[in-house]
């Protein structure tokens, strides 16, 4: 439906369907007509691509994706939106709506069944209550996808796209850099949504790496170490890793020393290679 992201049309559709917003499901719908075309274009919605969308709302982004990509599979948990989408996306025969919780969908199967012969990308205005779990689920599964382009809260975007070795980084920064090259694409003001949230947003894109960094002895242990390292902000690596892993500080200190790092180093000062070296050495201590 053209003019779908026009606020008057959105209000009309929602009131005709008696729709009320669910805070629990993170329902802040985009009402700024310039945002969805930009997400679609920067998010690889184009010929030769199949797009997975997460959280359709009334279909404003779905419509822009369907205009550009070969096929769109859009996952939306809220059953109340199904009749709305049947109306707003009626003109597109390349859209499949999946009424499910994205965390329960077998995405490997979906890609194999729906996107044969196509490159695949993910685009979404994510529900904020599950931003990190969704991003990590998409990256950790090693899905055959090229890019993940998502709208997130501005603070979350800063953390996700922080440079390794800088103050802004956290465990999630290490994780996304392990699997992808993250980049901040553009900011979106809170006034672009209905209802308007208390914070501004931004759109970020993760370009998936063909191969993850070398030298990690045990991936699960590596990520456990990273989470432990950031479990207590502003503590030294030795203190936070020791308490996060439940080990002696002396053991953490020995691993730090063997990794060639200064005694009082803080987790946010480490590069990817240094995190890998530290986790490998720490595994020797357990």
Binding site for ligand SAM (CB under 6 A): 25-30, 54-57, 60-61, 75-78, 101-103, 125, 127, 130
Q: Which long-range contacts (CB under 8 A, 24 or more apart) does 83-91 make?
A: 83/17, 84/13, 84/14, 84/17, 84/19, 84/58, 84/59, 85/56, 85/58, 85/59, 87/1, 87/13, 88/1, 88/4, 88/13, 88/58, 88/59, 88/63, 89/1, 89/59, 89/62, 89/63, 90/1, 91/1
Paired tokens of 3: 């003019």
Compare residues 203 and 256 and give the one whose CB is closer to ligand SAM: 203
In angstroms, give the least distance from the CB of 79 to ligand SAM.
10
Cβ atoms of residues 72 and 96 within 8 Å:
yes
Beta pairing, strands 147-153 & 119-125: parallel
In angstroms, give the least distance from the CB of 187 to ligand SAM.
16
**Closest Cα to residue 141, out of 164, 111, 100?**
111
How far is Cα 211 from Cα 144, in angstroms, rounded to an integer? 12
**Closest Cα to residue 135, out of 45, 54, 78?**
54
In angstroms, give the least distance from the CB of 70 to ligand SAM.
20
Compare residues 28 and 132 and give the one whose CB is closer to ligand SAM: 28
Cβ atoms within 10 Å of 204's Cβ, excluding its own: 22
Cβ atoms within 10 Å of 249's Cβ, excluding its own: 13
In angstroms, give the least distance from the CB of 184 to ligand SAM.
18
Q: Which residue is nearest to ligand SAM (CB)?
A: 55
In angstroms, give the least distance from the CB of 170 to ligand SAM.
23
In angstroms, give the least distance from the CB of 186 to ligand SAM.
15
What phi and psi, each to the nearest 5 degrees, are found at residue 277?
A: -60, -45
Compare residues 153 and 173 and give the one whose CB is closer to ligand SAM: 153
In angstroms, give the least distance from the CB of 101 to ligand SAM.
4
In angstroms, give the least distance from the CB of 42 to ligand SAM.
15
Give the CA diameter of the chain. 66
Cβ atoms within 10 Å of 17's Cβ, excluding its own: 14
């Amino acid at each position: 439906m053209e003019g779908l992201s026009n606020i008057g049309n959105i209000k009309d559709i929602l009131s005709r369907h008696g729709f009320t917003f669910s805070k629990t499901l993170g329902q802040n719908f985009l009402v700024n007509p310039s945002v969805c075309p930009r997400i679609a274009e920067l998010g690889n919605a184009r010929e030769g691509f199949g797009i997975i969308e997460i959280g359709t709302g009334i279909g404003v982004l779905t419509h822009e994706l369907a205009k550009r990509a070969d096929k769109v599979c859009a996952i939306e948990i809220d059953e109340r939106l199904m009749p709305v989408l049947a109306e707003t996306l009626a003109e597109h025969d390349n859209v499949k709506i999946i009424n499910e919780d994205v965390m329960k969908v077998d995405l490997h199967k979906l890609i194999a069944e729906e996107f044969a012969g196509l490159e695949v990308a993910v685009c979404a205005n994510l529900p904020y209550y599950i931003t990190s779990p969704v991003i990590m689920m998409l990256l950790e599964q090693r899905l055959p996808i090229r890019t993940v382009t998502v709208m997130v809260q501005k603070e979350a975007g800063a953390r996700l796209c922080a440079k390794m070795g800088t103050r802004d980084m956290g465990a999630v920064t290490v994780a996304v850099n392990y699997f992808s090259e993250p980049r901040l694409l553009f900011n979106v003001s809170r006034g672009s949504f209905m209802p308007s949230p208390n914070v501004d947003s931004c759109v970020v894109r993760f370009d998936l790496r063909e191969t993850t960094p070398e030298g990690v002895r045990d991936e699960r242990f590596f990520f456990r170490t990273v989470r432990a390292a950031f479990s207590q902000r502003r503590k030294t690596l030795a203190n936070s890793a020791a308490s996060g892993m439940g080990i002696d500080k002396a053991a953490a200190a020995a691993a730090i020393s063997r990794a060639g790092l200064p005694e009082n180093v803080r987790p946010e000062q480490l590069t990817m290679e240094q995190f890998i070296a530290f986790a490998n050495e720490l595994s020797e201590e357990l």
